[in-house]
Amino acid sequence: MARSFEVLLSTLTALYAKAFDALRPAADAALREVANIERPRGEFEQVKAIQTSLAVLECNVVNMRQLLMSLLDNDDDLHMLYLTKVHDNPSLLQGDVTFDVDEVVAILEAQLQDIYGIVSHISLMMSNIQHTARVVDLMWTSKRNYLLLIDMSLRVMLMLMYCTNYWTGAFGQNLKSNVEENEGLFWGTSLVCTAWTFGAYGVVCKVFLARGLSLSWHKRV
């Protein structure tokens, strides 16, 4: 009985170990691709799928470990594992069962050690995946914030140009004046509008910078 019980547990443990070994190369390759590719959208989805498979495997292994631990803590269940001995001598079930169960205990402890190793490897891989997911999320957040800063910067510049457009629109109106003949006024207005646009933009940038927000286009990842 002890031998068949050991073979059964060894087979289950080997199946779990084989399932993890089948997932580990794909997980390692996907994590390397996510770390090296600029936009790892497809690879990130693959990592998520592997993470789901690892979570299911971890749940099964942990449940098996809990089952074996509960079995190890229950003396009555340990004695009932000796089916052949109990079948040949039913009187053993009369009163307190006192025969030795060290062999089964040794088998359970050995299998629990193997299962603990599998759980540790799965937990380590899950931690690597979660860490990579956080890094990728930070990268995407940084890129999104960078694009928002560019959008805000362009909006500020466009708003300032609208102000100068309103002023220079007076030259295009069909009014009787000598403005079009005054070259100095034309160049003076052009310089004032240019100075206003870039000067006001610089002031706005300094105001935002004083509040901890830089409108610089320099990308900081």
- Looking at residue 59, its pLDDT comes to 92
Closest CA to 21 of 154, 113, 95, 118: 118
| Residues 69, 73, 77, 83, CA torsion sign | positive
- Looking at residue 110, its pLDDT comes to 84
Structure confidence by residue, pLDDT tens digits, 78-89? 666 666 666 566
- Looking at residue 82, its pLDDT comes to 66
pTM: 0.60
- Looking at residue 38, its pLDDT comes to 64
- Looking at residue 180, its pLDDT comes to 61
- Looking at residue 98, its pLDDT comes to 56
Q: SS3 for 191? A: helix
| CATH code that applies to domain 1-145 | 1.20.58.340
What type of residue sits at position 62?
Answer: V
Please state, in angstroms and as integers, the Cα–Cα distance from residue 103 to each residue in 26, 34, 68, 70, 117, following that order: 39, 48, 15, 17, 22
Residues of the chain with pLDDT under 50: 219-221
How far is 127 from 54, CA to CA, in rounded Å? 11
Running DSSP on this structure, what letter comes out for residue 157?
Answer: H
- Looking at residue 221, its pLDDT comes to 41
